[in-house]
Structure 1
Amino acid sequence: MKHLHFKMITAMPEVARHAEACGVDTIFIDMEIRGKSERQGHLDTQKSEHTTNDISRIARVLTRAELMARINPPWEGTAAEVEAAIAAGAGRLMLPMFRTCDEVAEFKSAVAGRVPVTLLVETASGLARLPVILPLLQVGDRVHFGLNDLCIDMGLDFLFEVLGGRLLDGPAALCRDAGVPFGIGGVGRIGMGDVPADWIISEHVRLGSEWVILSRAFHGGATSLDRLVDQLDLAAELSAIHQCYRDLGAADSTLLREYQRRLACKAAEIGRQRSSARWLQAS
């Protein structure tokens, strides 16, 4: 049974150090700002404005966890962003919102093998072109499927409709066949959220996903380590997810199919509600 790895977005050194001690595998510096407000301004998603200075500050405190930096979508400044992030101490770079094989090739050329990369697949065109993009990746590189922007790009109303509709079954199989490790979206705390976390974790097991981004439910927008520690026991929360992942990994495939069915129904229900609400607002 594979291990489910965790990414956490934070630019606070004390929180990063605490998260590492609790078992977070990757600290995630998010420098993506170009076009994000326009795409996700209507959504309650994590929107950060981290900088290369944040990379340097976090790099100084980590001893085990990987430090990953997400740069902007492909543009004429991509090569300069790559240079700055690597110079600041990033151990992995993530490219979001790419649509073509050429954009990935240019990004890989700029990185030049100095650090591994993660391709954030969050456009329909990027998803469709995965068969010709995967051969560009090297040992250590990964893929992550971003549900929020895939949902938007596909004209859906709720991010988990992507999983409910089994739209990642084929792309996940392509990654497995190519030997490229991959992750999917984010996850909340067990027992919380619009969709039960165990249904979502079940999809990670069913599809073979190895990585997940921890949602804000794991830090609640805390502005200090003391506030974070007061809000939750991070190590215990992560242990609960690991246990759920292990239990589902050992479960009969019938249970995974049942959880997938429930997820599909719930996601479609929430999608209909949100579509109706928008229609009423517009009228």
Structure 2
Amino acid sequence: MFCRDSESFALFLFSTDPRLIQTATQSGVGGVVVDWESIGKAERQVGFDTQINHDTVEDLARVRAATRARVLCRLNAFGPTTQAEIEAAIDNGADELLLPMVRSANEVETVLAWVNGRCDLGILIETEAAVERSGELARLPISRVYVGLHDLAIERKTANPFQAIADGTVERLRAAFEVPFGFAGLTLPDRGFPIPCRLLMAEMARLRCDFTFLRRSFHRDTFNLDLRYAIARIRRAMREAFARSTAELEVEHRRLLEAIATADGYFRARCEMNRTDAVQAASQ
């Protein structure tokens, strides 16, 4: 079932701050993500302007105590630590686990067996292997699918993380899954550089996505704003996007493709600058 309207479209916030979480969930955020993924991430994402969190078991317990909203916990990629992380996440109140960097249905089946129905399991598609095996993954009893554009771009050796939208990968994946589906991330509708956020909102509506995350720039863009006002603006913009006709959303889709193509040079230059900075920092 694809998302039918904006009212069922969910926003999730990465945070471990109880006060921020309480305000956000009272303002329309559907849940909170505690992020444990850090193993190997710095090496994998060198040269890319990404965020690496180092949330802890104590952070998860504090978030759980602070809210009745849905709490998601992103684990590290499947490996030697996975089973222990599952137990710790469930023991400390996670409603749903997110498994990143999935590469095979067997990994997900193993995690589902370890979870044993005690909470839900969502997956992140951010490897070529997962894209190729989307049919197998779609048959598993998972709770949601999110396409991680940055890591997928790294695997594909492209600087532009939005290329998976432009080449149709995201749309094909959306068609493969019936569980809640999301991609990219949102901030205020009039922000977002070099891809305007309003174009991503229109694409989420065109593909009838079900959820997304409030991305890192959301915190920066709303630093001096009332959080309730900021979230209301996003939800209003999503309502407007879902209310558009098919023809109107196709026009916005073409504009998005043009913006992605135009942004290629910007992303290549940024990656080169970040790699240079990383090399210089390592040599000091």
Cα distance in 2 for partners of 1:13, 1:276 equals: 38
Deviations 1:233-281 (A, max 9, x none): 2222222222222222222222211211111121122123333566799
Identity across matched positions, percent: 29
Deviations 1:121-176 (A, max 9, x none): 111111110111121115xx11111111111112222222221222211110111x
Higher normalized contact order (CA 8 Å, seq sep 6+, divided by chain length): 2
Pair 1:8-2:13 in alignment: yes
TM-score using structure 1 length: 0.89
Within 5 A, what are the aligned runs for 1:106-255?
106-138=110-142, 141-175=143-177, 179-194=178-193, 195-220=195-220, 231-255=224-248
Cα distance in 2 for partners of 1:10, 1:267 equals: 29
The one of 59, 62, 73 aligned to 2:67:
62
* Contact 1:218 1:232 (8 Å CA) reproduced: no
CA RMSD of superposed structures (Å):
2.0
Pair 1:101-2:112 in alignment: no
Pair 1:87-2:86 in alignment: no
**One-letter code aligned to 1:94:** L
Distance 1:276 1:69, change over 3 A: closer
Pair 1:258-2:251 in alignment: yes
The one of 26, 35, 44 aligned to 1:39:
44
Q: Which runs of 4+ in 1 moved over 3 A?
A: 276-282
Distance 1:48 1:278, change over 3 A: closer
Structure 2: state its 5+ residue gaps.
277-284
Tell me by how many angstroms 1:34 deviates: 1.0
TM-score using structure 2 length: 0.88
* Contact 1:94 1:120 (8 Å CA) reproduced: yes
**One-letter code aligned to 1:259:** E
Tell me by how many angstroms 1:220 deviates: 2.6
Distance 1:33 1:277, change over 3 A: closer
Structure 1: state its 5+ residue gaps.
222-227
Pair 1:269-2:274 in alignment: no
**One-letter code aligned to 1:25:** G
Tell me by how many angstroms 1:219 deviates: 2.1
Farther off after superposition, 184-193 or 212-221: 212-221
**One-letter code aligned to 1:99:** R
Aligned to 1:224: none
Q: Secondary structure at the match of 2:209?
A: coil
Tell me by how many angstroms 1:89 deviates: 1.1
The one of 63, 77, 81 aligned to 1:77:
81
Cα distance in 1 for partners of 2:267, 2:29 equals: 33
* Contact 1:163 1:203 (8 Å CA) reproduced: no
Q: Secondary structure at the match of 1:220?
A: helix
Q: Secondary structure at the match of 1:265?
A: helix
Cα distance in 2 for partners of 1:276, 1:147 equals: 18
Distance 1:215 1:277, change over 3 A: closer
